Chains A and B, each alone.
Chain A
Amino acid sequence: MSTTDQPAGKAEITQWPRATNTGHLHGDYFPRAARVALADPQLRRNIGNATTIIREKRGSVVAELDDWAELRAAGAAIKDATMADLGDHLERLETEVAARGGVVHWAADADEANRIVIEIARRAEARDVVKVKSMATQEIGLNEALAEAGISAWETDLAELIVQLGDDMPSHILVPAIHRNRSEIRDIFRREMGNVGVPAPDGLTDDPPALAEAARIHLRNRFLTTDMAISGANFGVAETGTVMVVESEGNGRMCLTLPRVLVTVMGIEKLIPTWRDLEVYLQLLPRSSTGERMNPYTTMWTGVTQGDGPEEFHLVLLDNGRSTILADPEGRPALRCIRCSACLNVCPVYERTGGHAYGSIYPGPIGAVLSPQLTGVADNPSLPFASTLCGACYEVCPVAIDIPTMLVSLRAKVAADPDSGDARERAVFRSAAWAMSRPQRWTRLLRLMRLGRFLARRGSFRNLPPPFNGWTATRDLPAPPDQSFRDWWTAQRDGGGDA
């Protein structure tokens, strides 16, 4: 067995590969993208309504379990324990999958994963593949790579179908078309379904059951006739080689059961060590994601079963920057993420901007920590700042990822990065720090600030120069008081005055 990479020492870790540039992980400048989103009344309404509904649902089903805190702690600890021995668990998974007739592939980055999947499709002589919703395949830009190779990838999850037909980008981890309301969906179905297959029924209304029915009719034959399917995985159990996909509509079952060849692309962080560990995540995940006690369908399979389901099963283990995250103790907890999207649904920033503003297919709080880590901060320098650090995400995260703390640590990495750091800002903060770290200097600064009073109108500022104009565009800033607290204290207390 040859290896091109030497086992890495500490110093080399920083040189390790990040996610390749093929996929959808790179954001625009968040404040600019957010401004566009904020001005879209339809989007604001759609996302606001949807997140309000899901927050309530989650809250009520989580409250049903009196051991939620303990499940959450176990959910975090099991993932950490898995990471600590990830190499062994990966090898065990490989052994078990192979023993049950599956084939395991290893992909260091997006390009390699895409090449592997294309090669499997070529061998299977598949010109069309059906897909179960998968973040990993979006991350690596698999559909585009398949298209270039002349293979059509058909998304089958309702929301993914809406996104694909609308030539759109996903805006939510769980509900990629959350930014669309029912009448927009009807219009997309009417306009596009006929161009790629079975058209939408005549007189299609925007009634959700009718829209679901249209999707059923559109995809039915595709499921029955397509030879190859591609999925992601929610969990892979090392000790048994079992892979698991949770879903709602049955499109997952269709893809995982009917085609002759099944390819599953799974990030290496999706592992859990034991079968029993599933008892934790099968409780945490559905309640956190769709706010259900259990999602309608969960499929678990181990390798290939004679006479039941696919004859060929390929498992592609994807690194694409994950081992680099693993090497950073401050960034590592992001790999616990089970992609439930609870953090998106409670995030006050996400709720107002939607997912597109984040650029990456991983939006919201987890996206703000995951995307810059996968790509390196230089490629996503604005995302760590797309948060007020209010902590709502951490509060609901079923695997207790302290996203605010991670954001703070990533901000330091951005500031220290020669390409992304803002030298002017650093200088401003340095002088502020100089003045604020010694009481004498601070006292003098406070007295100096009093001069600002003469520039204020009726006790407040309404129009300050940059960089404070961002504040005063929508908010007043009171003028400094004529006496700081410490001057008052000195005068009243030490000066012997009477308070």
Chain B
Amino acid sequence: MPDRQLVDTPFVPATRTSRQAILDRVRAATAGFEPAPVRRDYRQAGAHPQPDPETLLEVLIDRLVDYKAEVTQCAITDVHTAVTAFLSAEEAVRVVVPDGFPDEWLAGSTDSESGLVRLDDTGPLTVDELDAADGVVTTCAVAVAETGTIVLDAGAGQGRRALTLLPDLHVVVVTADQVVARVPDALGRLDPRRPLTWISGPSATSDIELNRVEGVHGPRRLRVVVAESG
């Protein structure tokens, strides 16, 4: 494989011969290999009796708390109160607000008296600005009850991935209709072509004697508002 080829052909894979060699080899290697068919006897999406909505939220909250997220449950009309409470409890002043985050969920929290400074990602915000922010508020795409997982898909109210990565406090609003029972239920609701971030609790590590310690590089505090309609 001459190195020159790589230098001369910008951004085109230059390793054509290896490509063909690998493909030829894997095809020859598996010729005649007929494995058993895949049986999906596990619980698939929707295939099992879904828990009632109340249990679903209960499980979600239980799992979130188990992995050291703080959770508030409230009516959809009270989201702004819960969000504001989380922000002020953490003394978050400079707060990133992604495009599409419902204004009414922030009502009263960014006016002049509350002292909060709203950072919009029109610009966009630089990494230093994000790093200097105290927190970020977002919506989410899906939440998985059984694992206590919240999935972001960079949709409205969530923003690009860096917004939820650099600020040390992440406040996320989950609405009841976004909660599914198990992992298989979640995948069907997601679009693989969007960048996806699955979040289960705050950043953590088990690298020191296999003890779980919360808070490394990602947001060290995860606050979840679980909102029910009516």
**Does any Cβ of A come within 8 Å of B37's Cβ?**
yes
Contact A209 B215 (CB under 8 A): yes
Given contacts A86-B26, A212-B208, A297-B203, contact A275 B187 (CB under 8 A): yes
Q: Determine whether the beta carbon of A115 is less than 8 Å from that of B3.
A: yes
Binds A, one of B17-25, B77-85, B88-96, B108-116: B17-25
The segment from B40-48, B50-58, B171-179 that touches chain A is B40-48
CB-contact partner of B192 in A178, A295, A300, under 8 A: A300
Residue B223, interface by CB 8 Å: no
In the complex with contacts A305-B154, A323-B29, A215-B216 CB distance below 8 A: yes
A498 proximal to B (CB < 8 A): no
| Cβ-defined partner of A254 (8 Å) among B20, B165, B184, B209 | B165
Contact partners of B198 in chain A: CB under 8 A: 282, 294, 297-300
Q: What residue of chain A has the Cβ atom nearest to residue B151's Cβ? A: A298
Task: Indicate whether A211 reaches chain B with its CB closer than 8 angstroms.
Answer: yes
Judge whether A319 is part of the interface by a CB distance below 8 angstroms: yes
Whether A8 touches B28, Cβ cut-off 8 Å, given contacts A84-B33, A158-B205, A249-B218, is yes
Contact A1:B219 (CB < 8 A) given known A258-B127, A294-B200: no
Interface size grouping (class) on chain B: 35 or more
How far in angstroms is the closest Cβ of chain B from A292?
A: 7
In B179-196, the 8 Å CB interface with A consists of 182-184, 187-188, 192-196
* Of A26-34, A69-77, A360-368, A412-420, the one with at least 4 CB within 8 A of chain B: A69-77
* A242, chain B: closest CB distance, angstroms: 5
* CB atoms of B161 and A74 under 8 A apart: no
Most A CB contacts (10 A, CB to CB) among B28, B183, B201, B210 go to B210
| Any B CB within 8 A of the CB of A59 | no
Closest to B126 in A: A224
Closest to B27 in A: A87
Contact flags (1/0) for B126-153 with A, using CB distance below 8 Å? 0110010000000000001011110000
Chain B residues near A175 (CB-CB < 8 A)? 206-207, 210
Picked from B22, B203, B210, the residue with its CB within 8 Å of the CB of A296 is: B203
CB <8 Å contact, B160 and A329: no
Return B122 CB to nearest CB of chain A, in Å.
Answer: 12
CB <8 Å contact, A249 and B35: no
When the two chains form the complex, which single residue of A86, A219, A295 contacts B217, counting CB atoms closer than 8 Å? A219
Q: Which residues of B contact A282 (CB under 8 A)?
A: 183, 187, 198
Residues of chain A within 8 A of B165, CB atoms compared: 250, 253-254, 257-258
**Which residue in B20, B127, B187 is a CB contact (below 8 Å) of A276?**
B187
Of the candidates B124, B187, B216, the one having the most CB atoms from chain A within 10 angstroms of its own CB is B216
Closest residue on chain B to residue A255 by CB atoms: B217
Known interface pairs A116-B15, A300-B192, A305-B194. Does A5 touch B36 (Cβ–Cβ under 8 Å)?
no
- Provided the pairs A74-B40, A224-B131, A297-B198 are in contact, do residues A5 and B26 lie with their beta carbons within 8 angstroms? no
A278 and B185 CA atoms in complex are apart in Å by 12
Most A C-beta atoms less than 10 A away, residue of B24, B30, B146, B208: B208
Contacts of B146 in A (CB 8 A): 293
| Given known contacts A158-B207, A251-B216, A309-B161, A299 and B196 CB-to-CB distance under 8 angstroms | yes
Question: A240 interface residue, CB < 8 Å from B?
Answer: yes
A410 within 8 A of B: no
Known A7-B28, A103-B11, A216-B216; contact A81-B38, beta-carbon cutoff 8 A? yes
Q: Identify B207's interface contact among A157, A219, A280, CB under 8 A.
A: A157
State the CA gap A300–B218 with chains docked (Å). 16
Give CA–CA (A46, B26) in the complex, Å: 41
**Which residues of A from 121 to 158 have beta carbons under 8 Å from B?**
123, 156-158
CA distance A237 to B190 in the complex (A): 14
Q: Are A8 and B24 in contact (CB under 8 A)?
A: yes
Closest beta carbon of chain A to B158's beta carbon, Å: 10
Residues of A within 8 A of B16 (CB): 1-2
Q: Is the CB of B22 within 8 A of A323?
A: yes
Determine whether the beta carbon of B207 is less than 8 Å from that of A253. no
Given the known inter-chain contacts A86-B26, A216-B217, A317-B22, please indicate yes or no for A296 contacting B193, CB distance below 8 A: no
B213 at the interface (CB under 8 A from A): yes
**With A4-B21, A240-B192, A257-B162 as given contacts, are A249 and B183 in contact (CB-CB < 8 Å)?**
no
B7 / chain A contacts, CB cutoff of 8 Å = 119
Cβ-based interface call for B204 (8 A): yes
B residues within 8 A CB of A280?
42
Interface contact B42-A71, CB-CB below 8 Å: yes
Within 8 A of B (CB), among A280-306: 280, 282-283, 286, 290, 292-302, 305
Q: Which of A290, A309, A319, A327 contacts B28 (CB 8 A)?
A: A327
Assess whether B205 is in contact with A115, with CB atoms less than 8 Å apart: no
Contact flags A1-20 to B (C-beta < 8 A → 1, else 0): 11111111100010010000
- Check if A383 is an interface residue, CB within 8 A of chain B: no
> Is the pair B187, A212 in contact by a Cβ cutoff of 8 Å?
no
Does B67 sit at the interface, judged by CB under 8 A? yes
Asked if B13 lies at the interface with its beta carbon under 8 angstroms from chain A, I say: yes
A464 interfacial contact with B, CB 8 Å: no
Q: Does residue A192 face the partner (Cβ distance < 8 Å to B)?
A: no
B59, chain A: closest CB distance, angstroms:
11
* Stretch from A105-113, A347-355, A479-487 at the B interface: A105-113
Q: List 24 A-B contacts (CB under 8 A).
A: A5-B21, A46-B209, A53-B209, A54-B210, A70-B40, A74-B42, A87-B30, A103-B11, A105-B14, A105-B15, A115-B3, A119-B3, A224-B127, A237-B192, A253-B165, A276-B187, A279-B44, A279-B187, A293-B67, A294-B144, A295-B200, A299-B197, A327-B30, A329-B33
Q: Give me 17 other A-B pairs in contact (C-beta within 8 A), A9-B28, A106-B19, A220-B217 excluded.
A: A2-B20, A5-B17, A49-B209, A49-B210, A50-B210, A74-B42, A78-B38, A108-B21, A213-B215, A240-B193, A254-B165, A268-B22, A282-B198, A290-B206, A297-B200, A326-B29, A327-B28
B: residues with CB less than 8 A from A are 1, 3, 6-7, 10-30, 33-45, 63, 67, 124, 127-128, 131, 144, 146-149, 154, 160-162, 165, 182-184, 187-188, 192-219
The 5 closest A-B pairs by CB, nearest first: A250-B218, A80-B35, A327-B29, A250-B217, A249-B216
